[in-house]
Amino acid sequence: MSPIKLITFDLDDTLWAVKPSLIRAEEQQNAWLREHRPQALDSITPDQLAQLKKSVWQALPDHAHNMSKLRQQFLYELQTAAGYSHQDATTGAEIAFGRFLEERHRVSLYDGAVTVLELLSRRFRLGAITNGNADVYKTEAAPYFSFAVRAEEVGAAKPAAQPFLKALELGDCRAEETLHIGDHWEHDVLGARQAGLHTLWLNPLDQVWPHPSDAPLTIQSLSDIELAIRAIK
């Protein structure tokens, strides 16, 4: 009999493909900037835009786990570089980020994901652990989750132990009673494994396990979860 009582899920590229929503989110963010802060984008090339974002990320290593903080700082510096005042840039960053985040949550769950979550939620507690700034409660998956842990709220990102330990606290379960499922071999599998959790690697492209440690249990589709759980002793 499986010892699992709690299942935690990564979100981006585990329950949904994140790239389409990020593209749309940046389009909405930039649409607001073009209308209200036109000089911010008129005065910068795509390469310069990418370099500015990179420099902001590198200048704030203590906030590497906080995607919201990094994006808002990037938006602020984008505007001040174009000559906007501190007040205008601060307000603009908040509003543009709000437009970004609104679209960020318009995700399309993978085919069959809702059915899988609904079935699993009948037998297990479900939690979310994400390094991103998506809020699972603003998505179609909301009804099935008992709690969510975001890196920016606990001050550390996977593969650090803190997000997993917070999930154990919120889920009121021991590590050996918990299964973490995610697509990232390091953030999800190694991180959860090092925190003592059982792991399941979502690997739809059948990638080779890149780490010298033993390969984890692997699935290619969320529909394979139930069968995989039976193999956990």
Domain ranges of the chain: 6-16+109-229, 19-104
Res. 131: pLDDT tops 90: yes
Neighbours of 103 (CB within 10 A): 18
Confidence of residue 2 (pLDDT cuts 50, 70, 90): confident
Fold of 6-16+109-229: Rossmann fold (3.40.50)
- The model's confidence at residue 185, banded by pLDDT at 50, 70 and 90, is very high
What integer is the mean pLDDT of 10-27?
98
- State the pLDDT at residue 102: 97
pLDDT band at 233 (very low <50, low <70, confident <90, very high): confident
Residue 14: exposure state from Cβ atoms within 10 A (0-12, 13-18, ≥19) = buried
Identify the pLDDT of residue 16. 98
How many residues are given for the chain? 233
Q: What is the mean pLDDT of residues 151-169?
A: 98
Give the pLDDT confidence score for residue 43 in this predicted structure. Answer: 76
**Rounded mean pLDDT, 170-180:** 98
Name the E strands within 62-162: 125-130, 147-150
* pLDDT for residue 74 is more than 80: yes
Of residues 99, 57, 92, the one with CA closest to residue 74: 57
Residue 197 has pLDDT above 80, yes or no: yes
pLDDT band at 214 (very low <50, low <70, confident <90, very high): very high
Residue 25: pLDDT band with limits 50, 70, 90: very high
Q: Order of strands, edge to edge, in the sheet holding 217-219?
A: 147-150, 125-130, 6-9, 178-182, 198-202, 217-219
Q: Hey, CA dihedral for 58, 64, 70, 73, is it positive or negative? A: negative
Options 3.40.50.720, 3.30.499.10, 1.20.120.1600, 3.20.20.70; CATH for 19-104 is 1.20.120.1600
Mean pLDDT score across all residues of the chain: 97
Q: How confident is the model at residue 126 (pLDDT cuts 50, 70, 90)?
A: very high
Contacts of 145 (CB under 8 A, 6+ apart): 126, 127, 128, 136, 137
